[in-house]
Homo-oligomer: A and B are copies of this chain.
């Protein structure tokens, strides 16, 4: 311990543990390799299991580890870059094959969404559920809220209420003029239903991407997409080359 410094600032044990394990991951383990179980690791480091877990939790938060109940703790691959740029101003589901529609229902929006839509909480909206898959893994679950008034033609359509209906809503949307969109990213924790589709436990950390689609001076749709924070790096590729040709 040549460099230790009279430990005037006692580092928490779990923090130190995290550093040690992190370095071990870099040097001694390969991606996908399985670590010793928590009880053994705790014993090996001479700490309580809860303390060891605190370190593992941090490393999982940083995308270094992946833990699965009943299986074990494995070394995670580097996060995958997921493009969420608004390349051109496009309605959802336009050119992309990465999203697949799951189903579609009619409901009243939650308060936060209603606020974004400038709508009342009791106005009915189509709720399209979609799943984004990348590299064979589900990376995001989305709820797309489309007020009935944004796609009035749809009331005439028959009602399969499944993926077909979802695609119908998207098709109707795409016939409209998209004036613009704005987007926000924040940290959240996965709701039970999203967690299930993302193959995570409820409460898992997620990056919530909220998008407002503007058409004819109003908000025509709102998308709330929750990305797995452990496996995803959201990329915005604004790389210079004339973003707009207006």
Contacts and interface: CB of A to CB of B under 8 A. Distances in A.
Q: Which of A185, A237, A242 has the most CB of B within 10 A?
A: A185
A97 interface: no
A81 B212 CA distance: 15
A228 B111 CA distance: 25
B89 A184 contact: no
A214 B234 contact: no
| Chain A interface helix/strand/loop/mixed | mixed
Interface residues of A, number: 42
Interface in A172-208: 178-189, 202-203, 205, 207
B180 A238 contact: yes
Interface string A219-246: 0000000000110111111111110101
Contacts of A62: 187-189
A229 B187 contact: yes
Contact of A63 (B15, B180, B187, B234): B187
B238 A81 contact: no
A101 interface: no
B61 A182 contact: no
A178 B238 CA distance: 12
Contacts of A241: 179-180
